[in-house]
Amino acid sequence: MYDSVKGFRDFYPEEMQARRWAMDTLEDVAQRYGFREIGTPAIEPTEMYVDKSGEEIVEELYSFEDKGGREVALTPELTPTVARMFVAKQQELSKPIKWVSTRPFWRYEEPQQGRFREFYQTNVDIFGSAEPTADAEILAVAVDMLTDLGLTAEDFEIRVSHRDILAGVLESFEADVDVPEAIRAVDKRAKVDHDDYLDALVDAGLNYGQADTFDEMLQIDAEEIETLADLTGSEDVRAATDNLQAVLDAAEDFGVRDHLTVSLTTARGLDYYTGVVFECFDSTGEVSRSVFGGGRYDDLIEGFGGQPTPAVGFAPGHATLQLLCQRAGVWPAEELSTDYYVLQVGDTRPTAARIARDLRERGHVVESDVADRSFGAQMGYADGVNAETVVIVGEQDLENDEVTLKEMDDGEQVSVPLSAFPGDHDRPTFEDFAE
């Protein structure tokens, strides 16, 4: 016997049925907004990730030399890939471009709650629009995905911030601040001791007094954020707060403003974020980490050799979403479901096969015997796959030009004229034929 590789998971049919429901729900929301599905490769040149994140990123990758001597890596995220794809056809594509993709990714890191070495995400991105409406649409897609999964405003919180506000406030101090490093410290604020957080800000170039002041400014009430421009004297902060307010105003028009909380301590640690950023959290805190996040990354396409192109997107991870849905009680039961089992007794396969075909053509999940089993064994199997209805096609039934319809939940059954089944019924059940 072999064990599975650490950080990689098997999904049996019962689990996959629930997972498929979640995937289909997310993709259906994106498609309703006009996002078009793309397909992407499982490996990319390792150099693409090194150029973006530095040599140290290799330690987090499943990277290797292929048989052609090329250094490649299993894709740890989609953003560089979609940037590459966009640049390859930048002149041909009508903008804005709206892409969606669901697929696995791989990172060599320690597994923990909601995080595995192989993980699945649905990536949603808009390229070619710098308008606040694009940010608001991304937020609306995120909210609609969550509510279509059955979650309510009491189940989740989406915290919205703006990287340029953080950068502008940091640059207003009379200090030589490493802004990206300071923003990474803010991103880790809730995960470390407060003293360690202040130490990280000092390491980034602030003194302890400035670090305290900066942290106090981040906790300003949402209604007072616009005063940060006056406090700092920074026109960059004023422009960023105006942009954030414009996004929130557009989100109001999209009907999702009430799901958003302004929180400047939300930073997103990746350096490529440039404007509005956001993260989704379990409102009860039982899911101890961010469920997903996203934001604007206007400089990334240019960094991959393309023309300057604004972009915004997010990527809900399916493992953390499942944790949130399970905590909220909206994750479906992980069990098989079957609409009909067509049971054969004796030499009745041609008729049974015709009935099964007719039911499948109506869009139902239908199983029938492929193992030449007894009546009792077939009934046991039908119960095992949670068949709602069993259609018994027996030699004796056919002699009377009938089949027997049996409901599995209550055991009720009725004889039905063969010519009337399934007939004009889209979803024939016991009630359709009982007197």
**CATH code of 378's domain:** 3.40.50.800
**Assigned domain for 394 exists:** yes
> What pLDDT score does 189 carry?
92
> What pLDDT score does 175 carry?
86
Give the whole-angstrom CA distance, residue 59 versus residue 186: 24
281/249 same-domain check? yes
**Assigned domain for 380 exists:** yes
> What pLDDT score does 133 carry?
98
292/368 same-domain check? no
> What pLDDT score does 345 carry?
95
How many other CB atoms sit within 10 Å of the CB of residue 194?
Answer: 9
**Assigned domain for 399 exists:** yes
Looking at the structure of the chain, the number of domains it has is 2
CATH number for the domain spanning 291: value is 3.30.930.10
> What pLDDT score does 289 carry?
87
Domain stops at, among 310, 328, 346: 328
234/350 same-domain check? no
Tell me which long-range contacts 44-49 makes (C-beta under 8 A, separation of at least 24). Answer: 44/72, 44/73, 44/75, 44/80, 44/81, 44/84, 45/70, 45/71, 45/72, 45/73, 46/71, 46/72, 46/73, 47/71, 48/80, 48/84, 49/73, 49/76, 49/80
> What pLDDT score does 92 carry?
92
166/311 same-domain check? yes
User: Which residue from 229, 227, 198, 234 is spatially nearest to 214, judged by alpha carbons?
Assistant: 198
> What pLDDT score does 435 carry?
67
Query: pTM of the predicted model, to two decimals?
Result: 0.91
Domain stops at, among 275, 298, 328: 328
349/321 same-domain check? no
Beta strand ranges found along 310-363 (DSSP E)? 311-314, 338-345
Parent domain of 400: 338-432
**Assigned domain for 45 exists:** no
CB within 8 Å of 131: residues ≥ 6 apart:
none
Annotated binding-site positions: 77-79, 107, 121, 125, 268, 272-273
**Assigned domain for 365 exists:** yes
β-sheet with 276-282: strand ranges across? 36-37, 97-106, 118-127, 311-314, 292-296, 276-282, 156-162, 260-262
- Residue 63: its H or E element: strand 63-65
21/111 same-domain check? yes
Q: Characterize 5-15 residue by residue with b for buried, 16 or more Cβ atoms within 10 angstroms of its Cβ, and e for exposed.
A: eebeeeeeeee
pLDDT tens over the chain, length 435 residues:
899 999 999 999 999 999 999 999 999 999 999 999 999 999 999 999 988 778 889 999 999 999 999 999 999 999 889 999 999 999 899 899 999 999 999 999 998 888 899 999 999 999 999 999 999 999 999 999 999 999 999 999 999 999 999 999 999 998 899 988 999 999 999 889 999 999 999 999 999 999 999 999 998 888 888 899 888 888 999 999 999 999 999 999 999 999 999 999 998 877 788 999 999 999 999 998 899 999 999 998 998 888 999 999 999 999 999 999 999 999 999 999 999 999 999 999 999 999 999 999 999 999 999 999 999 999 999 999 999 999 999 999 999 999 999 999 999 999 999 999 998 999 999 988 886
Please check whether residue 403 is in contact with residue 421, taking contact to mean a CB–CB distance below 8 angstroms: yes
147/284 same-domain check? yes
Annotated binding-site positions for L-histidine: 77-79, 107, 121, 125, 268, 272-273
Give the whole-angstrom CA distance, residue 109 versus residue 127: 30
**Assigned domain for 54 exists:** no
